[in-house]
Structure 1
Amino acid sequence: MAEPQRIVIVGTGLAGASAASALRDRGYGGKITMFGTENRRPYELPALSKDILLGKTNEPAWVHEASFYADNEIDLELGVSVLEVRPGDHSIVDSNGAVRSYDRLLLATGSRPRVLPGAQGHVLRTLTDSLTLKSELREGRHVVIVGAGWIGCEVASAARTHGCRVTVVDPLAEPLVRVLGTEMGVMFRGLHEEHGVEFKLGTGVAGFSPSGVRLDDGTELIPDVTVLAVGATPRLELAEAAGLELADGGVAVDAALRTSVPDVFAAGDIAAHAHPRHTHRVRVEHWANAKDQGTHVAGSLIGLDEPYQKSPYFFTDQYDLGMEYRGLADPSDELVVRGDLASRQFIAFWLREGRLRAAMNVNVWDDGTALSALVDAQATVTPTQLREADLGSLA
């Protein structure tokens, strides 16, 4: 496969920016053009629900210094959307009406916050969203958060740190239960309740009014601030209109992140990836996936055929709890806990048919390398080994 002369990247998030820099690191000398709807250079998202909301900084973690793009001859088209992808003639149409040709195209369009019908409130996806919400988090104000997932829990932590009164609403029985299961959900609920958060669980939202949030149990909450944290929707419109195969909620890509259309690739939130270690497609909306897939797809864009094999990874910081999660488990998998759950200093493991599917270390920081090796290998281990053996020796 001849090296492409023109690579177009749609999306200036972490996946797109990581791909652009990795292309240059690999010695690619052709033209790189990136299109992004925001008027800011690429930045990472985790700080938006962590350090920025906590008031520790007003700056995100920029993917690169401002001079990096010009220094590496990467053309940043900021504030410019791609309206159409034309695979037949290898071109895109941008929001200025220009038609741009490509030899290879990377779609890294990311996600948008999911909203509820008639909803009124803050969402959290961009730097502007984060700075605007932070300005609302003032002592004594009542913050209602709809959604008890990762964003909802991190916003609750930040709001309580600012002295807000916080109510979290979710139709499920525990926070984070879809990802971590009931026992871990109870642990996170206890953490937040100890810090004064009130939960309305097993309760959905019936509607919104200018003054409040109506719940389906008849309760009406009257907040000063409403936050909508009900998940994200991958931006698939361009891919769908261009005729790319969609699957499992995303753009279907093979092991090397190629789509069903020649010379078009996808990475990050939108990529439903045929992961070599899983029997189903994997689509992950987390920082590490965007960074690592973006870096990997650079090789595919210049003609390499190497499968992307990294395990999903994400982290959170809430109050004095820090956590890292590696792998991909189902909450119904067998849960094994090593350490003290009550003091929130432990490692949780998820086993399926005797093989390790995922591991989560909570306020335990010495075993990250071993945990990554065990999860990547989907190691065959027993619960007793996970509770008692030296993890390094198991790895």
Structure 2
Amino acid sequence: MAAIALVVAPHVAPAADIGLPKFRAVDIDAQIKIGYGLAIADVDGDKRPDILLADKDMIVWYHNPDWAKHVIATNLTKNDNVCIAATDIDGDGKCEIAVGAGWNPGDTVNSGAVFYLIPPADRTKPWQPVALPHEPTVHRMHWVRNATGKVELIVKPLHGRGNKNNEGKGGLILAYSIPSDPKTPWSTSVVGDFLHASHNLQPINWDQDPETEIIVAAKEGLWHFDRQDVAWRPRQLTDVWAGEVRDGHLPNGKRFLATIEPMHGTTVAVYHEPKDAADLWGRTQLDDSLKDGHGLAVGDLLGNKQDQIVVGWRGMTPPGVPGIKVFVPEDAEGKKWKAIQISGPEVAVEDLKLADLNGDGRLDIIAAGRATKNVRIFWNEGF
């Protein structure tokens, strides 16, 4: 087991007088290299959510609650790792893991890699990587369920094959079916093939059937993909270039979508569901001051049965001071929001997640900082 030193950060967010609970910031790792992607899942089956990280040249997980760091894969490809997906597929209480690597967004022909990791009996030891077929510029992935309840892996590239300047063929989003023996070939099917500069996606289940739908953020806006029999049916929701997307519910119970616009952008926006499903969603801009927005999450941090929006930016391109803000709705319709900053240059956010890490019923914020080289938990200590 690797030794770990906990670094308690001096920054504590203001208390309930500004409408947020207290957040206590703790670095569980101050020596990461980039921190491309986070995932939250129970790795070892102890019924506690662990933190997983796709770092530059290694895949690691941090054991809850001592946050001991375990390296389970190194140097999968010459180029960097870029994403990770973790969920319990077989119901044994322990997660399965897939990762994306070979990251080189400038090479839209030969870059990219996808691996499924087979765990040893001792899950703190190195896992066996199984290389899977892939498109160039593999960028994001999620585990989802199909109509039969089986889990599939959705993998999305940033660019289409051979793209230049965000133009050319659309990116090929693939669904991977898991064979009974993961070392044997995995079959793939096409989810979508027409979007460009597609930075992120979000699994959802809006129609409450067994299968997962997805929303993809791209140059062409937000697109909803729902599986109809075998094929996926796309539906355009917005027409503004978005880099990040998450969904939630407003105080009035209606659905909303939160975005960072454009890719690596400056703007936080909320989209409101239209009365007519054929119409584009209405847009409310919340903020246009981000410097290189790169992290987005939605959840109930306040414990008031309403969703808030958490946004992180890394201040890299264009350069600036990083930060994290929480946006709290101030009316039932979600037309007015209050922005509260809870972090500044301490975390240059590459990715962030929300999860109740200690079982106290409160969502905590987990962030990976690129330039700051840290993984930080913002413990939600209530009002």
TM-score, normalised via structure 2 length:
0.26
Decide which structure has greater helix share: 1
Structure number with greater CO (CA < 8 Å, separation at least 6) is 1
Q: Between Structure 1 and Structure 2, whose CA radius of gyration is higher?
A: 1
